[in-house]
Amino acid sequence: MEKTVRLLTLPLLALILAGCGKKEAEPEAVGPVALPLAESSLTTATVRAIQPAFEHPGVIEAVQHAKVKPEIAATISAIHFAAGDIVETGQNLMELDPASYQARLEAAEAEMLSAKANAEQAETNWKRAEGLKPKGYISELDFDKAKASRDVALANVAKAAAQLEQARLDVAHTRIKAPFSGRISKPSFAVGDYVTPAGQPLFELVQLDPIYATASVGLKNYNNYVILRTEMEREGVEMPEIELTLELVGGLQYPHTGKFENWSHSSSQSSGMITGRALFPNPEGLLLPGQNVTLVGKALRKTERTMVPQAAVLQDQQGYYVMTLDDTDIVRRQNVQMGVRDGADWAVREGLEPGTRVIVAGAQALRAGTQVAVQSNRQQ
């Protein structure tokens, strides 16, 4: 019996030992799967010459807009213009009845003559007192009185001169003249109306030549422009000269070019915009305040820039970036600084070398470090 058990145990032990010594086959290591990327989804950053241009909706504004009121209170005696007339600087537009102011002028002239006569007499008495005092012929009190009388007489002359000047101004103000050249509104009053400085304007006058075209620009673009200009000035590089033109309603081209004048002194907090002004000649009066236009700007000389399609440019909290492929077809993120747009392309100021492969389509679905396999159209 014992022998039988031993014979059965030996084969069983051999099987157990054999099983313990045998190793299972390990699975082969598998690398990351390359994601397919169509060749048509790629482009190459290239350097080419561009002529930067821009378009902004704009509005025409008058350089000067005056609401003319009278300087004096009087009755209108004559009106020398009609609504819509083009008037010139200094042109006589309206007359007020000068009768009462002419009388005040004559009275002021007479007062001036009297004051001068008194001053001459007081000056004579003062000089006489100066000669008598050292000899003891007049008292100290009489000497002081002569001096005071002379001073009062001179003060009266100055007062009379001021009143005379005011009277002359009042007479001059009976003629209302154009403060500048422009188009005039209809008169607010008729002949015979009594007008005062505190009342409504006599008329409105708008300067038409030259005239402003204003356009609102986002603060981000404005800041980029100022920073770029500062950098170029620091490097001794001149900003490209810009030619400004206008497109009128209906696609008509305005025949005159303008020049940039200034930026607004403040920005709109609600819209995040700032207003720029361009000055245009307007000899024919074609441009009118409130008219909608398109402000078009174009650089007069070309410049070379690294360009990529706008579709390739992405943006997040860090700023603008593009997704690129390195020499091993691995996706890389490259932060960039963008410049001007030119059609469907966008200039890259910094962050991207010419010749770099840039992902145009599907870049948002790819992460930096991803291995891709570029497929040609035939493979697709």
**pLDDT tens digit sequence for 13-35:** 333 334 444 444 455 545 567 88
| Torsion region of 357: left, alpha or beta (phi above 0 gives left; psi -120 to 50 gives alpha) | beta
Residues of the domain holding 342: 36-49+305-375
Most confident of 41-55, 67-81, 326-340: 67-81
Q: What pLDDT, on the 0 to 100 scale, is given for residue 242?
A: 80
Amino acid at 122: A
Tell me, yes or no, whether 128 lies in a domain: yes
More confident: 368 or 17: 368
**Residue 93: pLDDT over 70:** yes
Nearest to 127 by CA among 158, 154, 150: 150
- 368 and 270 in a single domain? The answer is no
Tell me, yes or no, whether 2 lies in a domain: no
Mean pLDDT across 229-250? 78
Q: What pLDDT, on the 0 to 100 scale, is given for residue 297?
A: 85
- 73 and 191 in a single domain? The answer is yes
Q: What pLDDT, on the 0 to 100 scale, is given for residue 268?
A: 64
What residues have CB less than 8 Å from 76, skipping those under 6 apart?
94, 95, 96, 97, 189, 190, 191, 192, 193, 194, 195
Tell me, yes or no, whether 17 lies in a domain: no
pLDDT tens column, 125-158: 988 888 888 887 888 888 889 899 999 999 999 9
Mean pLDDT (the chain, rounded) = 85
pLDDT tens column, 202-222: 999 999 999 999 998 887 777
β-pairing, 292-299 with 319-325? unpaired
Nearest to 305 by CA among 279, 341, 280: 341
- 219 and 287 in a single domain? The answer is yes
| pTM above threshold 0.75 | no
Secondary structure (3-state) at 58: strand
Tell me, yes or no, whether 216 lies in a domain: yes
Tell me, yes or no, whether 283 lies in a domain: yes
Tokens read off for 67: 């609401």
Long-range own/partner contacts, residues 316-323 (CB < 8 A, 24 or more apart): 322/348, 322/352, 322/358, 322/359, 322/363, 323/358, 323/359, 323/363, 323/366, 323/368
pLDDT band at 270 (very low <50, low <70, confident <90, very high): low
Query: CA-CA distance, 356 to 335, in Å (whole number)?
Result: 13
Report H helices in the chain. 2-21, 99-132, 140-172, 219-234
Q: What pLDDT, on the 0 to 100 scale, is given for residue 18?
A: 41
Q: What pLDDT, on the 0 to 100 scale, is given for residue 11?
A: 40
Which of 257, 284, 301 terminates a domain? The answer is 301
**99-132 helix and 140-172 helix, angle to the nearest 10 degrees:** 160
- 352 and 287 in a single domain? The answer is no
The CATH number covering residue 309 comes to 2.40.420.20
Query: CA-CA distance, 157 to 159, in Å (whole number)?
Result: 5
- 190 and 79 in a single domain? The answer is yes
**Residue 374: pLDDT over 60:** yes
Tell me, yes or no, whether 10 lies in a domain: no
- 189 and 289 in a single domain? The answer is no
More confident: 49 or 189: 189
Q: State the total domains in the chain.
A: 4
Which of 271, 301, 331 terminates a domain? The answer is 301
Tell me, yes or no, whether 7 lies in a domain: no
Tell me, yes or no, whether 26 lies in a domain: no
Q: What pLDDT, on the 0 to 100 scale, is given for residue 142?
A: 86
Q: What pLDDT, on the 0 to 100 scale, is given for residue 29?
A: 47
- 90 and 43 in a single domain? The answer is no
**Residue 90: pLDDT over 60:** yes
What residues have CB less than 8 Å from 300, skipping those under 6 apart?
240, 241, 242, 243
- 288 and 231 in a single domain? The answer is yes
β-pairing, 292-299 with 53-61? antiparallel
Q: What pLDDT, on the 0 to 100 scale, is given for residue 375?
A: 84
- 280 and 152 in a single domain? The answer is no
Q: For the purposes of burial, counting CB atoms within 10 Å of the CB of 119, is it exposed (0-12), middle (13-18) or buried (19 or more)?
A: buried
Query: CA-CA distance, 209 to 183, in Å (whole number)?
Result: 10
Q: What pLDDT, on the 0 to 100 scale, is given for residue 2?
A: 44
Secondary structure (3-state) at 231: helix
Which of 301, 319, 351 terminates a domain? The answer is 301
The CATH number covering residue 242 comes to 2.40.30.170
Q: Which residues pair with 90 in a beta bridge?
A: none
- 344 and 293 in a single domain? The answer is no
The CATH number covering residue 144 comes to 1.10.287
Query: CA-CA distance, 170 to 203, in Å (whole number)?
Result: 20
Q: CA-CA-CA-CA torsion for 357, 360, 366, 369, nearest 10 degrees?
A: 10
**Residue 177: pLDDT over 60:** yes
Q: What pLDDT, on the 0 to 100 scale, is given for residue 377?
A: 62
- 259 and 295 in a single domain? The answer is yes
β-pairing, 357-359 with 319-325? antiparallel
**Residue 6: pLDDT over 60:** no
Query: CA-CA distance, 88 to 181, in Å (whole number)?
Result: 4
- 278 and 214 in a single domain? The answer is yes
pLDDT tens column, 156-170: 999 999 999 999 999
Query: CA-CA distance, 42 to 324, in Å (whole number)?
Result: 9
Q: Which whole-number Å values give the CA distances from 190 to 153, 195, 202, 247, in the listed order?
A: 46, 10, 10, 40
